[in-house]
Amino acid sequence: MRVSALAAADPLLVAAVAYVRTETFFATGDLASASRLLMAAADDLSADLSASASSAAAFGALHMRAAVVAGRAGKPDAAWDHLGEAHRAARQVPEGVYFGTAFGPASVRIHELAVAVELGDSPAAVERAASWHPPSHLPAERRSHYYIDLARAQLRLGHHQDAYLGLEAARRVAPQHVREHPQVRQTLSALLRTHGSPDDRLSELAAWARAR
């Protein structure tokens, strides 16, 4: 995929491939390679973000994902710097799907929560969420991930009922995505361990997600 993108000499295609390939590095834990790949693609787009909405969106999406990579690597300064770049790009485009990736102000806000959770700053994550909900026009998977991350933050704060409700909200939005998500199982497993005799609703959700 990457070879074809490079052969096409299309920085937007290279950016889309880099964004998707990051999932592989998340799975292997190779965060350094993920960061290098994302930034190489972003550098190719950084000369003129005003060239097109697609260029600005691709640049912003790369930094949005790089922020999560940095957060997972425990690098708060880098994570927030990347989010700053994502915000800069988001001011130039409406929320939408560009080259298969959702990007815009709402998507960046969702990633702010994700970064706070990755950095272990649950109070900041919950504060950033406040009473905000992802708009319904966003892709279901992105909206559900917001609630998954919010549930993780609530769990760490000891707000177990809120954590459960967050996972239920995620399930309503994108059930298949939630059922297969490892962080959902991890959160549910932690809730089950916390409650020696979980209520029927938590037990049902855990059984549905195949959490133990």
What pLDDT band is residue 7 in, cutting at 50, 70 and 90?
very low
What pLDDT band is residue 131 in, cutting at 50, 70 and 90?
confident
Cβ atoms of residues 128 and 150 within 8 Å = no
Please, what is the end-to-end C-alpha distance for the chain in angstroms?
37
Give the per-residue pLDDT at 8.
55
How far apart, in whole angstroms, are the C-alpha atoms of residue 49 and residue 45? 7
